[in-house]
Amino acid sequence: MTARRLLSALAALAALLLVPVLITDDYGLHLIIMTAMFMMLAASQDLIYGYAGQLHLGQAAFAAIGAYITAVLMLRFNLSYWLVMPLSGLGTALVALLLSVPTLRLRGLYLGLATLGFSEIVRLTLIMWNDVTRGPMGLPGIPAPTFGSFVFESKASFYYMILAFTVLTVVAIQRIVHSRMGKALMAIRDDEIAARAMGVDSSHYKLTAFSTSAFFAGIAGSFYSVYISFISPDSFKMMDSFLIFAMPALGGMGTVAGPLIGALVLYVLPEITRVFAEYRMLWVGGLLVVTMVLQPKGILGGMRALAGRLRRPRPEPGTD
């Protein structure tokens, strides 16, 4: 069984590595790169809401912070990307920590509103802090990362970079949620009072969940910075926070594949239906409503239920 799993993992990895060879169309590869970045954001969002149960509507703001840290450090101080990237993650985690301390006592919708307010503060700061961020004009000309003499310029090279980031993020989050710390987060989600009575320091773990998640979101933002090479306060909008929030919910919260499926559907669908302009969010919203009504456990939950029904023969009438 383990040999089979290893084999299928290797096959999946080979397929992922072949993507830039098979898809040579620039726009197609761009869509895949952005989808992978949103998968990273959705997986990190799931750590806060899906596992720790803390309503958080500001993941795009964390990405924006990471993106700006990278842009400013690279443009002003000409530092290597491989130093700037982890610094962006750590800087974002630090901001998340500062945000979480005053919001520790908030729960549910109140916490959601506070994180929404935080996103707005981030956006306004980026617009107003002209000296550093150039305000609404944004920061153009962010240099490409280099590795020795190799320059990350082609779409394929960025694809491999985000593939590595996303895979590492998913693996790290899975390791966390299956550990002692992950059980503590889920205990807080299910019943914070009982968790505390069982010896779980809920404040500590809520802070850790927020800052860990922000770390990954900051790295995703950092990637965006060097990939697009231009950022502005509009790069990560509040709408993106909502979308990132909806991705694990649509795909299936608290699972490996759920946030990834959700990111695929919610990023790619609006993108390929750009021809319908402003109407596209209408049916994305509709899709969300229908999925949540029909299958509260998300797409993955629905597929699992279906697979279970197909595998298990229906019981004979009257045997129950």
- Binding residues for another protein (CB under 8 A): 172, 175-176, 178-184, 186-187, 189-191, 193-202, 208, 212, 254
Closest approach, Cβ 115 to another protein, in A, equals 22
Three-state SS sequence of 206-230: HHHHHHHHHHHHHHHHHHHHHHHCC
Choose between 157 and 295: whose C-beta lies nearer to another protein.
Answer: 295
Choose between 20 and 50: whose C-beta lies nearer to another protein.
Answer: 50
Choose between 118 and 215: whose C-beta lies nearer to another protein.
Answer: 215
Closest approach, Cβ 207 to another protein, in A, equals 12
Question: Exposed, middle or buried: residue 161 (CB in 10 Å: 0-12, 13-18, 19+)?
Answer: buried
Closest approach, Cβ 193 to another protein, in A, equals 6
Q: Residues 6 or more apart from 178 whose CB is under 8 A from it?
A: none
Choose between 197 and 289: whose C-beta lies nearer to another protein.
Answer: 197
Tokens of 144: 């490409």
Closest approach, Cβ 89 to another protein, in A, equals 14
Choose between 201 and 234: whose C-beta lies nearer to another protein.
Answer: 201
CA neighbor of 68 nearest in space, from 244, 230, 240: 230
CA neighbor of 121 nearest in space, from 186, 71, 58, 211: 58
What is the helix (H) or strand (E) element at residue 147, kind and residue range?
strand 146-147
Closest approach, Cβ 11 to another protein, in A, equals 24
Under a CB-based contact definition with an 8 Å cutoff, are residues 258 and 298 in contact?
yes
Choose between 79 and 257: whose C-beta lies nearer to another protein.
Answer: 257
What is the separation, in whole angstroms, between the first and last Cα of the chain? 33
Closest approach, Cβ 292 to another protein, in A, equals 17
